[in-house]
């Protein structure tokens, strides 16, 4: 029995766009969607499109969103730059380095200490407001940074496009020596309560733990998004197999045939009330009461082998 509530929004019932690239929630409770048409604000009943009017952004295709610590949202624009929207006005982020016409922003994250980590097609940046000596702008070490996460110990992890997996420690980048990851696009990262790092790539799901990288899905599937929820459960957004849940060494999958909006998941987010929001290439899905066991293990997929 499926013990959850599933609700979908598409163009047919009010959603003003098709594909949802990214999802976050601002402090005032609004849900924000990043789309190819700019920002979309959702109050639970109505969607409102908010075009990005910041010149430095140079476009509308929002690749990543993050809730700002002082309210509002931060965003990264595909083939453009970074910006902030406080609910009324747009503004630039950081210094002039983040407004270069050659920049193509990929991802943005607010760390626990309030500093900003930003990825772009040539590298990354770490911006600490009012502390230029602690800020870093690097286009030589990591290559294109396309995903970020922070574990409970405050360590920041960076996933790249065909340059491998890195973390930041003691003022420098450290690369995880793994030949397979170095050839992959690392689309998504998530850290669990054991400080294991989950790595979503074009070649499936991997886990870095105890100094080793293991492939977890025993078949090749693109993993575009990852989320560890408040209960410690790992959710896996795939391209073609829908939404996966990984618990106790086993996968369960929710697909379009089961009520999901699409089998092609592009983004995941857990809101303040514990609902799971699933962005797809064909709309938006909300799963509530996900604290209950909601799937049967129909796929029977367990862990793969180490490489």
Per-residue confidence (pLDDT) for residue 170, from 0 to 100:
85
Report the percentage of the chain scoring pLDDT > 90: 76
Which pairs count as long-range contacts for 32-38, CB under 8 Å and 24+ apart, including other chains?
32/65, 32/67, 32/73, 33/65, 33/279, 33/284, 34/62, 34/63, 34/64, 34/65, 34/75, 34/267, 35/61, 35/62, 36/60, 36/61, 36/62, 38/62
Per-residue confidence (pLDDT) for residue 94, from 0 to 100:
73
Q: How confident is the model at residue 3 (pLDDT cuts 50, 70, 90)?
A: low
Residue 285 has pLDDT above 50, yes or no: yes
Average pLDDT value for the chain: 89
Q: How confident is the model at residue 93 (pLDDT cuts 50, 70, 90)?
A: confident
- Cα–Cα dist 196/275, whole Å: 24
At 225-270, the pLDDT tens digits run 999 999 999 999 999 999 999 988 888 899 999 999 999 999 999 9
Structure tokens belonging to residue 190: 């998530």
- The residue with greater pLDDT, 10 or 295, is 10
Contacts of 222 (CB under 8 A, 6+ apart): 187, 201, 202, 203, 204, 238, 239, 240
At 113-151, the pLDDT tens digits run 999 999 999 999 999 888 888 888 898 999 999 999 999
Per-residue confidence (pLDDT) for residue 298, from 0 to 100:
39
Residue corresponding to tokens 């575009």: 224
Structure tokens belonging to residue 201: 């790539």
Query: pTM of the predicted model, to two decimals?
Result: 0.91
């Amino acid at each position: 029995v499926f013990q959850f509530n599933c609700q979908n929004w598409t163009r047919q019932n009010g959603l003003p766009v098709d594909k949802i690239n990214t999802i976050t929630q601002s402090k005032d409770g609004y849900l924000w969607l990043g789309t190819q048409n700019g920002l979309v604000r959702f109050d639970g009943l109505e969607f409102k499109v908010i075009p990005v009017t910041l010149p430095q952004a140079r476009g509308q295709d929002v690749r990543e969103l993050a809730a700002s610590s002082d309210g509002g949202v931060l965003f990264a624009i595909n083939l453009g730059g970074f910006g902030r929207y406080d609910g009324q006005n747009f503004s630039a982020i950081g210094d002039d380095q983040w407004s270069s016409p050659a920049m193509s922003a990929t991802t943005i994250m607010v760390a626990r200490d309030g500093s900003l980590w930003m990825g772009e097609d040539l590298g990354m940046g770490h911006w600490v407001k009012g502390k230029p000596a602690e800020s870093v702008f690097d286009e030589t070490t990591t290559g294109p940074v396309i995903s970020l996460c922070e574990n409970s110990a405050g360590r920041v992890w960076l996933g790249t496009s065909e340059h491998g997996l890195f973390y930041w420690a003691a003022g420098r980048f450290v690369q995880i020596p793994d030949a397979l990851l170095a050839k992959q696009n690392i689309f998504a990262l998530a850290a669990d309560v054991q400080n294991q790092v989950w790595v979503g790539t074009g070649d499936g799901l991997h886990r870095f733990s105890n100094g080793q990288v293991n492939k977890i899905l025993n078949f090749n599937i693109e993993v575009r998004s990852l989320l560890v929820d408040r209960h410690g459960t790992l959710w896996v957004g795939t391209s073609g197999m829908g939404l996966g849940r990984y618990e106790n060494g086993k996968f369960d999958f929710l697909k379009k045939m089961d009520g999901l909006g699409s089998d092609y998941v592009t983004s995941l987010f857990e809101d303040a009330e514990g609902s799971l929001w699933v962005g797809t290439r064909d709309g938006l899905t909300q799963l509530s009461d996900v604290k209950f066991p909601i799937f049967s293990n129909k796929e029977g997929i367990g862990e793969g082998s180490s490489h």
